[in-house]
Amino acid sequence: DTEVTQTPKHLVMGMTNKKSLKCEQHMGHRAMYWYKQKAKKPPELMFVYSYEKLSINESVPSRFSPECPNSSLLNLHLHALQPEDSALYLCASSQGRRSYNSPLHFGNGTRLTVT
């Protein structure tokens, strides 16, 4: 069983919809990540939160809005998405603060389809 939980597992949304992806971890990790993964490609980093503060934004379009309400929760708010945003969205956590020996622990992902 994964220790990082993502909901929903699948999401289909129209281009005018607003939806949110949720991620939760209870490992005491202080860094949380959103990655986007297209088919047959490696995960691409979108955002990093370190100690509940946004530390990295990889020039992601504003139609993706991350939120970290507390150290265990990470949300990704979606609005006015495009069909090319369809992908697997992976949440991950790690100990954070330059813990080189702390691997990312991934959730099972949300498979998003934008119609």
Partner 1 sequence: AQKITQTQPGMFVQEKEAVTLDCTYDTSDQSYGLFWYKQPSSGEMIFLIYQGSYDEQNATEGRYSLNFQKARKSANLVISASQLGDSAMYFCAMMRRDDKIIFGKGTRLHILP
Which residues are near partner 1 by CB under 8 A?
2, 31, 33, 41-43, 45, 48, 50, 55-56, 88, 90, 92, 94, 96-98, 100-109, 111
- Report the distance separating Cα 61 and Cα 5, nearest Å: 25
- Report the distance separating Cα 72 and Cα 25, nearest Å: 5
Give the nearer residue to partner 1 in terms of CB position, either 14 or 103.
103
> For tokens 């993706």, what's the residue?
64
* Helix, strand, coil content of the chain in percent (nearest 5): 5, 55, 40
Reduced to 3 states (helix: H, G, I; strand: E, B; else coil), residue 84 is: helix
Query: Minimal distance in Å, beta carbon 89 to partner 1?
Result: 11
Query: Minimal distance in Å, beta carbon 16 to partner 1?
Result: 27
Give the nearer residue to partner 1 in terms of CB position, either 14 or 51.
51
DSSP state of 3: S
Query: Minimal distance in Å, beta carbon 80 to partner 1?
Result: 26
Give the nearer residue to partner 1 in terms of CB position, either 79 or 95.
95
Give the nearer residue to partner 1 in terms of CB position, either 87 or 114.
87
Q: In sequence order, what are the beta bridge partners of 79?
A: 18
